[in-house]
Amino acid sequence: MINIAERHQYILNKIQINGSLDVQSLCKELNVSSVTIRKDLKLLEDKNLLFRTHGGATLNNPYTVDKPVNEKEHLQSAEKMRIGALGAELVEDNDSIIIASGTTVLALARCIKPKGMLTVITSALNVALELVHNSNIEVIQLGGLLRKTSSSVAGPYSDNVLKNVFCSKLFLGVDGIDLEFGLTTTNASEAYLNRQMIDSSQKIIVLADSTKFGKRGFGRICGIEEVDHIITDSGISNHTINALKDLGIKVSII
């Protein structure tokens, strides 16, 4: 017999490979009722991991013409999407949150579908533009020097805004996580801004795929002990997981 998590993994694998799947086949393959499969698909759809259709599900929105993307990029972005989706579940109604910049937190932004009101402060222009069309979300764009590589701002321009707010959660994407050196990013002024964001937030949630562990970028943001929660993928070593848990950091693995 196979448990629910394994079933979900099976479904996600199959849809990654085939692009689509149908309820009846899954019933037979997994030896469960169609009701259960539909509940699975509904749950995975809520996490934005697939799109349900009448009779099954597809990986991509069936009503958009898909641009050809390179296979590796595609898989990688699927992983980021799942990290982002898990992060998005932490967002609650009437929250005020900060979203930093990076592709992983952009994936998170795409998964946020609040039922109630939500205030989002962000340094990333693409995050802001992603969220602005949702009428339940009030978006505050931080100002600053726009970086060529990341379409997000950095520098000291937003100090006074961040000094005058306090948010319940910060979602941070980083370039390096090192147990001794802490969190890092490639750019010093981005690190400075991230530091300010940390000071304005109650909970620090870091989104990073497992390749980021053990790496050190140029700009140091903060020590590892300031982090409350890390969301990553299964590539992370047990040793690292234990070390983080010993520090009182919650670790979620997709």
Partner DNA sequence: TTCAAGTTTCAAAAACTTTCATTTTCAAAA
Partner DNA sequence: TTTTGAAAATGAAAGTTTTTGAAACTTGAA
Contacting positions for DNA (CB under 7 A): 1, 3-4, 7, 22-24, 31-36, 38-40, 42, 52-56
Residues at the contact surface with its own copies, assessed by CB under 8 A: 3-6, 8-9, 12-13, 16, 20, 22, 44, 47, 49, 51, 53-56, 58, 62-63, 65, 125, 128-129, 132-133, 135, 138-148, 151, 153, 157-158, 160-161
Considering only CA atoms, which of 39, 51, 65 is closest in space to residue 15?
Answer: 51
- Residue 13 CB, shortest distance to its own copies, in Å, is 8
**Tokens linked to 140:** 């505050």
Nearer to DNA by Cβ, of 36 and 77: the residue is 36
Supply the angle between the helices 23-30 and 34-46 in degrees, to the nearest 10: 110
CB 84 within 8 A of CB 104: yes
Residue 49's binding partner, choosing from DNA, its own copies, none, with beta-carbon cut-off 5 to 8 A by kind? its own copies
Task: Indicate the residue among 37 and 177 with the shorter CB distance to DNA.
Answer: 37
Q: Is 148 helix (H, G, I), strand (E, B) or coil?
A: coil
Any bridge partners for residue 121, and if so which?
98, 140
Half-sphere exposure of residue 159: CA atoms within 13 angstroms, side-chain side: 5
Which pair of structure tokens corresponds to residue 210? 């497992």
Task: Give whichever of 27 and 125 is closer to DNA, judged by the CB atom.
Answer: 27
Closest to DNA by CB, 160 or 234: 234
